[in-house]
């Protein structure tokens, strides 16, 4: 497992706390369930455990680098919400659900560990804690008995409420872990995680509730009925994700053309891309917006290939405003030739524009991503590969002097925070 580390201040990271809490819960649940007469309806537990293990084996990577197992999560929620199986009452406890899910996750993830593709421990831990929360609330509050004794609207309403609360808890835990890892503000990361949960999270939760409802009548056949369409959907998404990953790798390779041609310094596009994404996270941009920002930042200098004489060091910050706009426009024209990155082309095209005009308010036509790239590019032009703190401060001060019109104050302030956090994390 990877991803566990201590904070720079010597305290425990969110990843460690979440992983330790999940491990403790899993051990207690397994010990209690393994005791004599501890396992209720072993056949049902085995069926759902196999379903969850299969889902773990078929895990995927979601946009934003999120490692996920939608099938396993849906199966775990279904087992947590299960009150009847083939019209027979299910009385298994919360700890049994946690034990079955924990063992199934371990079985399903083992082939990935052997192949060297182990997911981070906190990813597995977070989902186990979320399932533990769902089944704990469902069983401990008596809602499970209410669902068992009711039908129709009340049953569906209770399950929807449990799923919604579970998704909220999962988003909070994920935001806490990612904020600690990326060094981004918790509120901004939480907004991003909430957006992600609205999409695939709600679909997973709804599927889990439907499996639980269907199993009360269909029994074991509810699992294959739902797993087949889920597998087909996941296969399609995996292909889509692979195409996106290939596109990003291609763009990263293309971004080095200006470096190999001597138009920009080595590593410039990579540094601008990494810092731009960090600033975007600081400002609460969504995963989709961050991806476009990363594409644009990697290709922001591609217009320099049209220059007869390279700018010394590739530092467009020293070029005349008209020349900066010309380079940005040429780069945007190149990107538009792809036919699929028009939004990225617009970001690159507007990167040379000031964020506001004299005696006017903010120019809303200049995208936030363009404002970020403008400021980060100027910063890297001034600092380069230098790790000098004094040089970094001088560059930030120069950008602050241009906050009246050229550089968006929010972007410059967020960039300063991102740089400071990065320095603390690498100290």
Kindly list the domain boundaries of the chain, sorted by start residue.
14-244, 256-426
What would the pLDDT profile of 227-253 be if each residue is shown by its tens digit?
787 777 777 777 777 777 788 888 888
**Residues of the chain below pLDDT 70:** 1-13, 62-65, 145, 147-153, 182-183, 425-427
Q: How many CB atoms lie within 10 A of CB 30?
A: 19
Partner residues linked to 6 by β-bridges: 12
* Local structure of 199: helix, strand or coil: helix
Enter the CATH code of domain 256-426: 1.10.3210.10
Distances (CA, A) of 403 to 81, 158, 337: 54, 52, 34
Helices marked H in 256-300: 257-260, 268-282, 287-298
| DSSP conformation class of 198 | I
Residue 6's pLDDT is 40
| DSSP conformation class of 362 | B
Residue 411's pLDDT is 95
Nearest to 258 by CA among 313, 305, 315, 319: 305
Residue 4's pLDDT is 41
Task: Give yes or no for a contact between 173 and 18, defined as CB atoms under 8 angstroms apart.
Answer: yes
Residue 10's pLDDT is 38
Joined together, the tokens standing for residue 173 give: 């835990």
Calpha distance 350→299 (Å, rounded): 13
Task: Give yes or no for a contact between 16 and 6, defined as CB atoms under 8 angstroms apart.
Answer: yes
Q: Which residue has the tokens 């309403």?
A: 157
Handedness of CA 40, 29, 27, 116 (dihedral sign): positive
| DSSP conformation class of 200 | I
Strands 88-89 and 66-68: unpaired
Calpha distance 172→180 (Å, rounded): 12
Helices marked H in 311-367: 321-336, 342-349
Environment class of residue 23 by beta-carbon count within 10 Å: exposed (0-12), middle (13-18) or buried (19+)?
middle
Residue 150's pLDDT is 66
The whole-angstrom distance between residue 208's C-alpha and the CA centroid of its chain comes to 22
pTM recorded for the entire structure:
0.76
Residue 421's pLDDT is 80
Task: Give yes or no for a contact between 122 and 66, defined as CB atoms under 8 angstroms apart.
Answer: no
Partner residues linked to 343 by β-bridges: none
What would the pLDDT profile of 338-363 be if each residue is shown by its tens digit?
777 889 999 999 999 999 887 777 77
Calpha distance 201→236 (Å, rounded): 17
Q: What is the largest CA-CA distance in the chain?
A: 81
Backbone angles phi, psi at 277, to 5 degrees: -65, -40
Calpha distance 169→141 (Å, rounded): 17
CA dihedral 302, 306, 311, 314 (to 10 degrees): 10
Distances (CA, A) of 1 to 91, 111, 179, 225, 253: 34, 13, 20, 33, 30
Angle between helices 202-218 and 70-80 (to 10 degrees): 50
Task: Give yes or no for a contact between 349 and 326, defined as CB atoms under 8 angstroms apart.
Answer: no
Nearest to 214 by CA among 223, 204, 222: 222
Q: Which residue has the tokens 């499970």?
A: 144
Calpha distance 30→24 (Å, rounded): 10
Q: Please report, in angstroms and rounded to a whole number, the separation of the first and last CA atoms in the chain.
A: 24
């Amino acid at each position: 497992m990877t991803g566990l580390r201590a904070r720079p201040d010597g305290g425990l990271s969110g990843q460690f706390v979440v992983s330790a809490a999940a491990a403790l819960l899993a051990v207690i649940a397994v010990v209690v369930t393994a005791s004599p007469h501890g396992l209720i309806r072993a056949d049902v537990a085995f069926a759902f455990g196999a379903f969850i293990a299969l889902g773990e084996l078929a895990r995927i990577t979601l946009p934003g680098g999120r490692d996920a197992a939608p099938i396993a999560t849906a199966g775990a929620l279904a087992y947590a919400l299960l009150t009847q199986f083939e019209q027979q009452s299910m009385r298994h406890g919360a700890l049994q659900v946690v034990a079955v899910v924990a063992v199934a996750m371990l079985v399903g993830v083992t082939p990935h560990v052997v192949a060297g593709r182990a997911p981070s421990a906190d990813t597995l831990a977070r989902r186990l804690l979320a399932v533990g929360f769902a089944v704990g609330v469902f069983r401990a509050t008596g809602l499970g008995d209410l669902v068992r004794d009711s039908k129709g609207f009340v049953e569906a309403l209770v399950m929807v409420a449990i799923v919604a609360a579970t998704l909220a808890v999962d988003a909070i835990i994920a935001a806490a872990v990612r904020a600690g890892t990326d060094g981004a503000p918790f509120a901004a990361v939480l907004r991003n995680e909430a957006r992600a949960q609205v999409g695939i999270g709600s679909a997973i939760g709804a599927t889990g509730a439907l499996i639980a409802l269907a199993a009360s009548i269909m029994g074991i056949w509810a699992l294959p009925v739902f797993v087949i369409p889920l597998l087909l959907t996941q296969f399609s998404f995996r292909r889509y994700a692979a195409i996106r990953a290939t596109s990003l790798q291609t763009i990263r390779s293309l971004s080095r053309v200006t470096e190999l041609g001597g138009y920009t310094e080595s590593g410039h596009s990579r540094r601008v891309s990494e810092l731009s994404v960090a600033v975007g996270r600081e400002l609460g941009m969504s995963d989709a917006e961050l991806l476009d920002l990363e594409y644009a930042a990697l290709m922001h200098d591609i217009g320099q290939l049209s220059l007869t004489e390279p700018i010394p060091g590739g530092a467009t910050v020293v070029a005349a405003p008209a020349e900066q706009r010309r380079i940005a426009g040429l780069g945007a024209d190149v990107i538009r030739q792809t036919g699929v990155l028009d939004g990225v082309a617009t970001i690159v095209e507007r990167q040379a524009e000031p964020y506001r005009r004299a005696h006017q308010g903010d120019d809303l036509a200049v995208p936030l991503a363009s404002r970020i790239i403008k400021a980060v590019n100027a910063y890297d032009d001034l600092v380069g590969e230098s790790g000098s703190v004094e040089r970094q401060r001088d560059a930030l001060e120069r950008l602050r002097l241009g906050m009246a019109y050229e550089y968006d104050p929010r972007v410059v302030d967020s960039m300063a925070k991102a740089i400071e956090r990065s320095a603390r994390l690498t100290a």
